[in-house]
Every structure is written in structure tokens, then in C-alpha cells.
Structure 1
Amino acid sequence: MSGLMLNIICDPSQGGKSDKSKGNYKHERFLGRRRFLERKGFLKDKLINKQNEKNNKRKRKKQRHTQSNGEYQSKPAAIFPQFTTTLPDKTNEPSCSTQTLCQKPTSSVSSTGCTSQGKQTHSVAPGTVGPLKYLAMDCEMVGTGPKGSISELARCSIVSYNGDVIYDKFIKPINIVTDFRTRWSGIRKQDLRNATPFNQAQKEIVKIMTGKVVVGHAIQNDFKALKYFHPACQTRDTSRIPLLNQKAGLPQHEVVSLKRLTKALFNKDIQTGKGGHSSVEDAKATMELYKVVEEEWERTLVFKSVC
């Protein structure tokens, strides 16, 4: 037993694989699987995405380098506002100092994107129409519902810049009239017997006003009765023009009646007698009041960005 010797040989090349051999085997196995997946097309999209990411990184790096040198490039397909000056054509349009241009969308009757235009140059949205005409509107309302508490349209009058009557009709309210308010409206029962139905009159009036600058006194009440909202940039409310009050010698921010303003500026009496108001007379008076401050008022609107 004492002469027994053990001779153990640890040669990596014999009796097993070393760590290095195992690593090479795993790598070869990985490459084999990768080649198999490439042949099947599973790695095609992944390689394309990876290549696209590399290309995008190069582009961003190039853009940063360009901007660092002070060379800024605009984005492709960027839309910039056009700058246009339009002077009123006094041969075809009312003799006013300024006009309004407004973009007219195809999906809506009223337009909201609008910029006042006058003697000074300022930006205009693309796709604008030509100089617009000025109109003055006045409406008379009657009462419906309990004790005539609901105001509904019963007459509408529209005049041109020069005071010519464009539209003047009695309008039959949707609901039964419970108070004709004749003392103020001038409407009587017989006036509404053959009156134009509200829905028809509404379409006619909106068609006339579309694309026009509409002047009125406390005109929001008229639009409410008409169930219509005209673009603010195309609306001129003579009850809210401080310049007009100033010229009349009245407090600038006070809401003054049409009758009082007309008397103070023109020494003219309107809305007299017990027969009620005349919407034609009121519309003409409103347009005359607007003309008093037209040039100054339109100039201030240019800098106020109405719409």
C-alpha cells in the first residue's frame, strides 16, 4: 500500500472543456441562431429600425451643428401670415375710411378669423376676401311666454352705409305673442298676421349680414333675438364706443341710449310719440352716429386686435 501513487493530469485539452472553449461555443451558437433568424426575416425590421435611429441621430447632430453656427432654418411646410395693404375702393364701396378683411370658412356661416384693414399695413390671414360693406341693423321685439317675459323678434330693418333700406320685414315669432309692447316696439297684432316666419327671416337676414361689418346700438340684444352670433371683428356697437360719448359730452364709459346720443350730436329727435319706435329710423340714426367716429374708432381697432 505504501508503494501506490496517484498521477492526476489536469490538461484542459483532455477530459473536458475550459472556460474559453465554453465561451467560443456559446458565441458560435449565438451567431448560428442569428443567421437562422436573418434567413427567416425575423431580424429584418429590427435592423431597419436600428439603421433609421442611426440616421436620425446623424441628422440631429448636423442640425445642432448648423444652429450653433448661427444658421437657423425654417421648418418645411411652415405657413407664415401674408402682409397686405388694401385701400377702400370709393367707386364701388361706401365712402368709409377703413375696411375689414375676414377669412371665410366653408363649413360655417359666420367667420371668426378676421383682421381690420385700413390705411395702415397689417397682417391678414391667407384666403381672404375683398373689402366688405358696412350695414346698420335694428330690431324690434315683442313678448311671449308668461306676462310677455320672453323677447322674440317681430321686425328687422337693415340699411346700407348711405342709409338706403336693404331689408325691412315684420317677422312672426315662434311662440304666441302675449305682449306686443307697442309703446316701444311699434308692433301691432295686424302687423304679424301675414308676417314672414322666423326661420325664413333668419336665413334671409344672416345671408345679408354674412361677410359684412354690422353696426347697431346695443346690437347684442338684436343678435340674441335673431338667435345668431356675428363675428366680433365685424361688429360695431355704438353703445360701447367711448369716443362717441366723448364727442357728445357724456361720460365715456356710460351706456347711453340711441335717442340721447342722436339728440346730443345731431340735435335731432327720434323715437317720439306713442306709436312706438321705427326700426328703419333707428338703424339710420345708428349708422350716422358711427360715421362721426368711424375713422378714429377703426384706427384704434387696428391696434387692439379685435379678433
Structure 2
Amino acid sequence: MSYTVKGRELTKFTVVDHNGIVIYNEFVNPGCQIIDYNTEFSGITKSDIDGTTTTLKDVQNFCLEKFSSDTILIGHAVECNLIALSLIHDTIVDTAIVFSYPRELPHKRALRTLAMNRLGRHIQSGTHNSKEGAVACMDIILRHVK
């Protein structure tokens, strides 16, 4: 997400399957002026968005076509993504909730911390990478379930 004149808006959307294979990975043009690309956390830069024609509506249509009520969405702080997408979904596994500690609420553990603690994997140590984060979420949950 990046900050626009309207607030925090979606500027990249990545979906991987249970094998970590990318099935959707697009930069998203929010349609209004971006005032902060939030690069440290989003990995997004001006050059990533320049010329992008994918819109929020395109991403919403993808989600509505590919996900059913039986689809389990796995991610980290998923509510932020659903709010940005203006979508509701009932079946969610959120690593920020599953691996939270009551003493830390309402604060959530960083995904990079969970990946290190649960997988022994360094992620997002340089530029943020949405595919790396999506795969880490999937791997964390699959390892936990096994």
C-alpha cells in the first residue's frame, strides 16, 4: 500500500497458491495522486507505478473470479488488504493473529520476525518483496498445520 491524497491505497497485489507459485502479481494504479510510496514497507517506487494500467477494479474482479466462499485466504494482517480491496471474506488464516501474544495486543509481530522464528528464514531484509511475504505466510501456516 502507498499513501495517496485519499489515504492508504493498494498499489501492489500478489497471490500465490499453496505451492508458492505466483498466480497474480500486479502493480496497481490507485487513480489519484500518490503522496508517499511507503517504499520501506511496500517496496513500491514511482517507476513501478508509472505506466501501470491495472486498477483496483481489475484486482477486485480477479478476486471475485478466482476466490469462492470455500477459498481460504492466508496472509499477514489480512484485514488491511481486504479493506484496501473493499472486499469481505469469511475464511481467513492470518499469521498476525495466529501467532500473536496476548501481552502484545493490539501490536502485531512483523512477518519477517515470524519467518525467522518459524522458518529460520530471513525475509524483507532489503527491499520489500510481496511475493517473498506471500510465500512466507503460506510456508508458516503449512508448517504449523503439519
* 1:236 paired residue number: 93
Q: What's the TM-score, normalizing by structure 2?
A: 0.88
* 2:8 paired residue number: 151
Q: Is contact 1:153-1:226 (8 Å) kept?
A: yes
Structure 1 gaps, min length 5: 1-140, 246-250, 296-307
Q: Is contact 1:172-1:198 (8 Å) kept?
A: yes
How far, CA to CA, are the matches of 1:175 and 1:183 in structure 2? 21
Bigger CA radius of gyration: 1
How far, CA to CA, are the matches of 2:96 and 2:73 in structure 1? 13
State the shift of 1:159 in Å.
0.4
Q: After the TM superposition, which residues 157-306 of structure 1 pair with which residues of structure 2 at under 5 Å, given as runs?
A: 157-195=14-52, 196-211=54-69, 212-231=71-90, 234-241=91-98, 244=99, 251=101, 254=104, 255-273=108-126, 275=127, 277-294=128-145
How far, CA to CA, are the matches of 1:142 and 1:202 in structure 2? 18
- Aligned residue-pair number: 141
Q: Is contact 1:240-1:253 (8 Å) kept?
A: no
**Identity of matched residues, %:** 29
Which 4+ stretches in 1 moved above 6 angstroms? none
Q: Is contact 1:144-1:151 (8 Å) kept?
A: yes
* 1:111 paired residue number: none
Aligned to 2:113, the other structure's residue is in SS state helix
State the shift of 1:294 in Å.
2.3
Per-residue CA deviation, residues 9-52 of structure 1 (Å, 9 max, x unaligned), is: xxxxxxxxxxxxxxxxxxxxxxxxxxxxxxxxxxxxxxxxxxxx
Aligned to 1:167, the other structure's residue is in SS state strand
Q: After the TM superposition, which residues 2-81 of structure 1 pair with which residues of structure 2 at under 5 Å, given as runs?
A: none
* 1:74 paired residue number: none
Instruction: Give the letter aligned to residue 181 of structure 1.
Output: N
How far, CA to CA, are the matches of 1:253 and 1:235 in structure 2? 23
How far, CA to CA, are the matches of 1:179 and 1:206 in structure 2? 29
How far, CA to CA, are the matches of 1:252 and 1:291 in structure 2? 23
Instruction: Give the letter aligned to residue 95 of structure 2.
Output: T
CA RMSD of aligned residues (A): 1.7
Structure 2 gaps, min length 5: none
Instruction: Give the letter aligned to residue 138 of structure 2.
Output: M
How far, CA to CA, are the matches of 1:164 and 1:263 in structure 2? 21
Aligned to 1:271, the other structure's residue is in SS state coil
Q: 1:291 to 1:221 in 2, by over 3 A?
A: same
How far, CA to CA, are the matches of 2:103 and 2:73 in structure 1? 21
- Higher relative contact order at CA 8 Å, sep ≥6: structure 1 or structure 2? 2
How far, CA to CA, are the matches of 2:139 and 2:102 in structure 1? 19
